[in-house]
Chains A and B, each alone.
Chain A
Amino acid sequence: MSPDGLALASSLPPGMEEDRVAAMSAAMLALGERIGRELSRGNIERILIEGDKGFAMVSGCTDDAVLIVLTDDKGKLGVLNLEVKQLIARLRPMLTFSKSQVA
């Protein structure tokens, strides 16, 4: 989604509303980044929600895109971290537009 919470692309479990998930992810990242700054934690890479039914991980992807990944309760945090890192590395060039491309 965009940093102001508009969905760009999604694949969600049934019953989850894309618009709402996008808005929540953007709010979570913005608030997390603000808290990170207040508490001197440097640049915020990820926000993690850990529930007994799985993880939700929000990451800044580019300046114009935010990524959220959901897992079920069988998800492993190490694997999730690795996958998200690799996914962002692949997405970044696709989501980064140079000024000349836009014009």
Chain B
Amino acid sequence: MERTSPKQVMRIVATGPVGAGKTTLIKTISEIEVVGTDRAATDDAALLKPNTTVAMDFGRITFGPNMAVHIYGTPGQERFSFMWDILVHRAHALMLLVPLHRPSDFFMASKMLRYLQFHASDVPLVVVGTHSDLPDAWPAAEVLPALGIEPDAGIPIFSVNATQTHEAVQVLIALIEQYQRLTQSHAKAG
């Protein structure tokens, strides 16, 4: 009898500062209605947007019959860092979203990056510069040094408008490829 390969589920976690576009990106990518936990913002986030994620977002996209990507979004504020712990702990791959037009958030993004590198050092990571359509957006390549990333660290950076499906999917595909290269090299080494 022919063996069918089991369905592979890959968990991607999208994190980054408030208003980077994590919920938007997941809504753009997901093929199901996103499971969200938005509440009216009453902190500084209210200056940027009416609602903010307080627990997590969840979306899904399937590639063929045997592969599904589950994408989780974290809250952006540091008071929700316990949700980062919960979600990052089981992630296969990570996205750090950085709003390219708000340099004041780069410090928070670099803090989150250090958190990810400490707690999930062996998990593939991409940096996703968002709001690239805005006139005051920084060029993505110039953001890496601001985050404290060495140019030869091998962390890819993208520049996207999170509302554009083709741009968001490009990031997703790059991350999946990076993950598969890693698991293949592990399999060879093992």
Q: Which residues of A contact B (CB under 8 A)?
A: 2-6, 19-20, 22-24, 26-28, 30-31, 34, 38
Given A2-B42, A4-B43, A30 and B79 contact (CB-CB distance below 8 Å): no
Contacts of A26 in B (CB 8 A): 39, 54-55
- Give A20 to B84 CA distance when docked, in angstroms: 13
Partner of A20 from the list B37, B42, B56, B82 (CB cut-off 8 Å) is: B82
- Give A66 to B107 CA distance when docked, in angstroms: 31
Please state if B39 and A31 are interface contacts (CB–CB under 8 Å).
Answer: no
Please state if B80 and A23 are interface contacts (CB–CB under 8 Å).
Answer: yes
B52 at the interface (CB under 8 A from A): yes
Q: Which residues of B contact A (CB under 8 A)?
A: 35-37, 39-43, 45, 52, 54-56, 75, 77, 79-80, 82-83
- Give A34 to B82 CA distance when docked, in angstroms: 19
Contacts of A22 in B (CB 8 A): 79
Within the complex, the shortest CB–CB distance from B52 to chain A, in Å, comes to 5
Given A27-B55, A38-B35, A4 and B40 contact (CB-CB distance below 8 Å): yes
Partner of A4 from the list B35, B36, B41, B83 (CB cut-off 8 Å) is: B41
Please state if A27 and B54 are interface contacts (CB–CB under 8 Å).
Answer: yes
Within the complex, the shortest CB–CB distance from B179 to chain A, in Å, comes to 27
- Give A24 to B77 CA distance when docked, in angstroms: 12
The 10 A-B residue pairs with the shortest CB-CB distance, nearest first, are A30-B37, A27-B55, A23-B79, A3-B39, A31-B55, A4-B39, A30-B54, A2-B42, A26-B54, A30-B55
Contacts of B42 in A (CB 8 A): 2, 4, 6
Please state if A3 and B43 are interface contacts (CB–CB under 8 Å).
Answer: no
Residue of B nearest to A27 (CB): B55
- Give A61 to B82 CA distance when docked, in angstroms: 24
26 of the cross-chain contacts (CB-CB < 8 Å) are A3-B39, A4-B39, A4-B40, A4-B42, A4-B43, A4-B45, A5-B39, A5-B54, A5-B77, A5-B79, A20-B82, A23-B79, A23-B80, A26-B39, A26-B55, A27-B37, A27-B54, A27-B83, A30-B37, A30-B39, A31-B37, A31-B55, A31-B56, A34-B35, A34-B55, A38-B35
Contacts of A2 in B (CB 8 A): 39, 42
